[in-house]
């Protein structure tokens, strides 16, 4: 069984977009505002060890993240509230957190074998239980790469007032395209995902929303699944995008 030992922090830095944003402030919509009280969305991928040094993987992810942020300027920004009480996303290129940590006492089997998601997985996501309102003074996104005894976990937490799970996967998939070498490294290796989800309701709108609409368009419903089943379903969904 995985122990509850804390992660060992190896490094932490801020990743900035590789191009300056020219986007004006974005006012939160009526569907975005309730999400200020919701926790940051958490999604991640679990992999067996790639056949490259971890430092190479870290560098590739950081480079790809910088390029991807240029396509999604709000994610590199912050929230702000004006004197009238309106809340905005300001795309000020403040950057996102990137954390490299180690948990070599945990094996891949410790995460996938239990019926329920083990408590140690909570530590794999920075900003766990952080309300989205904190995006006023914390990054909109934080990426945490954790070295395991026999694998790697890449955990992301994204402010729910800025986007929903479907937009999050669009961002994640574009990040993956920017690090094609990483995609090649992981091809053929075991992978699965861990996340907390809501139901996408884009297809209910008239007129239809663009498939790459970036923001909140969800309906929340309760759902239950074992760790193994949950990981399998999310992995299949991510790979099909």
Contact present, 151 and 164 (Cβ < 8 Å): no
Q: What secondary structure letter does DSSP report for 210?
A: P
Give average pLDDT by consecutive 10-residue segment, the chain, 241 residues: 71 97 95 94 88 88 93 96 97 98 94 88 93 98 96 94 88 79 53 47 59 58 43 41 43
Query: The whole model's pTM is what?
Result: 0.76
For the domain made up of 8-240, the CATH class stated in words is: alpha beta
Spatial CA neighbour of 55 closest among 199, 152, 138: 152
The pLDDT score that the predictor gives to residue 239 is 42
The pLDDT score that the predictor gives to residue 238 is 41
Number of Cβ atoms within 10 Å of the Cβ of 161: 28
Spatial CA neighbour of 220 closest among 169, 165, 167: 165
The pLDDT score that the predictor gives to residue 216 is 63
Contact present, 93 and 31 (Cβ < 8 Å): no
The pLDDT score that the predictor gives to residue 209 is 61
Tokens representing residue 138 in the block = 């914390």
Strand partners, 192: 46
Domain residue spans of the chain = 8-240
Neighbour-count burial of 220, counting CB atoms closer than 10 A to its CB (0-12 exposed, 13-18 middle, 19+ buried) = exposed
The pLDDT score that the predictor gives to residue 207 is 64
Residue whose pair of structure tokens reads 């909109």 in the numeric block: 140
């Amino acid at each position: 069984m995985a122990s509850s030992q804390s992660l060992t922090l190896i490094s932490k830095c801020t990743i900035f977009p590789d191009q300056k944003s020219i986007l004006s402030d974005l006012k939160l919509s009526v569907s975005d505002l309730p999400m200020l009280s919701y926790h940051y969305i958490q999604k991640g991928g679990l992999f067996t060890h790639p056949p490259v040094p971890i430092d190479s993987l870290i560098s590739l992810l950081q480079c790809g993240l910088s390029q991807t942020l240029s396509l999604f300027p709000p994610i590199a920004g912050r929230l702000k509230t004006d004197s009238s009480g309106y809340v905005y996303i300001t795309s000020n290129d403040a950057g996102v957190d990137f954390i490299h940590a180690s948990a070599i006492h945990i094996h891949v089997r410790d995460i996938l074998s239990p019926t329920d998601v083990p408590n140690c997985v909570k530590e794999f996501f920075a900003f766990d239980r952080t309300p989205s309102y904190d995006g006023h003074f914390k990054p909109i996104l934080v990426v945490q790469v954790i070295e395991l005894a026999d694998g790697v976990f890449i955990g992301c937490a994204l402010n729910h007032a800025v986007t929903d799970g479907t937009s999050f996967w669009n961002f994640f998939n574009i990040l993956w395209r920017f690090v094609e070498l990483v995609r090649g490294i992981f091809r053929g290796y075991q992978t699965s995902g861990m996340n907390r989800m809501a139901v996408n309701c884009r297809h209910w709108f008239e007129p239809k929303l663009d498939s790459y609409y970036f923001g909140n368009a969800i309906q929340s419903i309760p759902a239950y699944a074992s760790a193994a089943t949950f990981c399998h379903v999310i992995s299949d969904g991510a790979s099909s995008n």
